[in-house]
Amino acid sequence: MKKFQLPYGVQDYLPQECYNKELVENKLSEVFYKCGYERVETSALEYFDLFDGILPPSAINKMFKMTDSDGSLLVLRPDTTLQICRMAAGNLDTGEINRLYYCENSFEFLTDNSTARTREFAQVGVELLGNTGIDGDIEIILTAIEALKAAGLKDFLIDIGNLDYFGGIIEECGFDASDAKEITDYINNKDVLGIEMFLTSKRTEAKFRDALIGLPTLFGKDNVLDRAEKLCSNKRSLKAVRDLKKTVAAVRECGLGDYISVDLGMLCGNYYSGLVIRGIAKDLGVSILDGGRYDGLCGKFGAPMQAVGFAIGTKRLLKALENQGALRETLPCDIAYVQLKNFCKEEYAYVNEMKKSGKRVQKTFFTEKEDLLSYCRKKSVRTAVIFDGKNYEEIKVKG
C-alpha cells in the first residue's frame, strides 16, 4: 500500500487522540462559557500588511505567507489574539467589557525541523477586552486555574510576572530598543553572567546593575515581591510590584495559592504590556498556557482599549494529561447489528428508537451471526442484534 508523509510540524488526529482532544476542548469551553465568555471564530487568512509594523521582525519572519491573485501578500493565522484585536475595531463596542473565547489552529513558519515546536498548533483561549484593571488580571488567573483543573490536569503552576517591573528599570537606565532586546534574552534565560558582561560593556550605574542582575533570581513562591520592591525605586516598577501583590493576595484568598508562583524575570511575548502568565505542569517540560495583558495592542488596530487573556496549547495539554495517565479510552458502541437480508424500513425504525433512548448503534456487514458475536466481544460491544429481514433478535454479549 502506498504510504504518505506529511510536511514536518503538522499532524493528523486519529480517533483515540481526537476523542481526548474534543473532551478537553469541551471542558475548557464550558469553563469559559460559564464565566460569560462567548465563542468566536476568525478567518484563517489575513492580509500581511495588517501585522507589518505591529509585530517585531522576528515574529513577522515566522508567518506562513502566500500571494493573492491581485498580488497582495496573505498570511495564515499566526495568532488569534491579534485577529481578535483586529475584529474588535469596528465590530465591538470599545466602551464595554467584551468576553470572547476561541478554539482554533494557528500557524508558525519554522525552518528548523529539529525544534520541539510545531508549525500548526491548536489553541483554546480567552480574551477579556475592556477597562478591567487589576480585577481583570485576577479574573484571568482564576479562569486559567479553573480551566486547567477542569481539563483534569494535576501538579500545575501558573507562573505570574509583570513586564512593567523590567520596563521601569530599563527606562531609568536609558537603554535603547536593541540593548533592551539583548538584555531581555539574557534575563529570559536567567543568564546572570551574560547580564553582568553586558552591563559592564555598557558601563551601567551600580544601582541599576544590582536590579538587573537580581532580576533572574526574582522567582518562586515566597518573599519574591518584597525582595523586588527593595531592588528598585522607579514608579513604574514599584507599581508593577504593588499590582502583583494585590493580584497574588486575591488568588491566595480564594484558596488557590498552591497553583501560583511569581517570576519577574519572565519577559515573554511580542505585545504584552503588564501582567504575563505561563502555565507549566510537572509532567511536561514546556509551557502549556501563555498569556498576559496587552493594553496597547487593540489601539494599534484603531480600537484603543485594555485587554488581557491567555491561550492553552491543546496538544501540550494532552501530552501532559497523557504523562499523568489522565487520557481516556474511546467508548465502544452500545449496539452492533447485521442485516442478513436486504435493507428495510423496520431496521431504520429500530435504530432510530435505540438512538433516541441514548444508545450508540453501529451497522456491521458480516454475513454470519458468529462473526458479529466475535466482533462484539473484541470491541466490547454489549448488545448484538441480528436482523433477518423485518424480524430481529437481540443477544447480550459478555466481555
Interaction site with other proteins (CB under 8 A): 114, 116, 155-157, 159, 189-194, 219-221, 261, 263, 280-282, 284-287
Q: For other proteins, which is the closer residue by CB, 194 or 304?
A: 194
Nearer to other proteins, 133 or 285 (CB): 285
Q: Output the smallest distance, CB 263 to other proteins, in A.
A: 7
Q: Given the complex with other proteins, which of 166 and 350 has the nearer CB atom?
A: 166
Shortest Cβ 249–other proteins spacing (Å): 20
- Per residue in 110-141, is it b (16+ CB within 10 Å) or e — as a string? eeeeeeeebbbbbbbbbbbbbebeeebbbbbb
Quick one: 168 or 279, whose CB is closer to other proteins?
279
The crossing angle, in degrees rounded to 10, of helices 192-202 and 206-214 is 160
CB of 199 to other proteins, least distance (A): 16
**CB closer to other proteins out of 99 and 119:** 119
Q: How many CB atoms lie under 10 A from the CB of residue 78?
A: 22
Question: Whole-number minimum distance, CB 308 to other proteins, in Å?
Answer: 21
Name the minimum Å distance from CB 282 to other proteins. Answer: 4
Q: Which residues contact 201 (CB under 8 A, 6 or more apart)?
A: none
The least CB distance from residue 157 to other proteins, in Å, is: 6
CA dist 100 and 281 (Å) reads: 25
**Shortest distance, CB of residue 290 to other proteins, whole angstroms?**
12
Nearer to other proteins, 137 or 159 (CB): 159
- Residue (111 or 342) nearer to other proteins, CB: 111
> What's the closest the beta carbon of residue 280 comes to other proteins, in angstroms?
4
Task: State the nearest-atom distance from the C-beta of 286 to other proteins, in Å.
Answer: 6
State which amino acid sits at residue 384. Answer: A
User: What's the per-residue H, E or C state across the chain?
Assistant: CCCCCCCCCCCCCCHHHHHHHHHHHHHHHHHHHHCCCEECCCCCEEEHHHCECCECHHHHCCCCEEECCCCCEEEECCCHHHHHHHHHHHHCCCCCCEEEEEEEEEECCCCCCCCCCCCEEEEEEEEEECCCHHHHHHHHHHHHHHHHHHCCCCCEEEEEEEHHHHHHHHHHHCCCHHHHHHHHHHHHCCCHHHHHHHHHHHCCCHHHHHHHHHHHHCEECCCHHHHHHHHCCCHHHHHHHHHHHHHHHHHHHCCCHHHEEEECCCCCCCCCCCEEEEEEECCCCCCCEEEEECCCHHHHCCCCCCEEEEEEEHHHHHHHHHHCCCCCCCCCCCEEEEECCCCCHHHHHHHHHHHHCCCCEEECCCCCHHHHHHHHHHHCCCEEEEEECCEEEEEECCC
What does the angle CA 310 – CA 311 – CA 312 come to, to the nearest 5 degrees?
Answer: 130
Quick one: 147 or 280, whose CB is closer to other proteins?
A: 280
Which residue, 189 or 330, is less far from other proteins as judged by CB?
A: 189
- Shortest reach from residue 328's CB to other proteins, in Å: 23
| Closer to other proteins by Cβ: residue 150 or 268 | 268
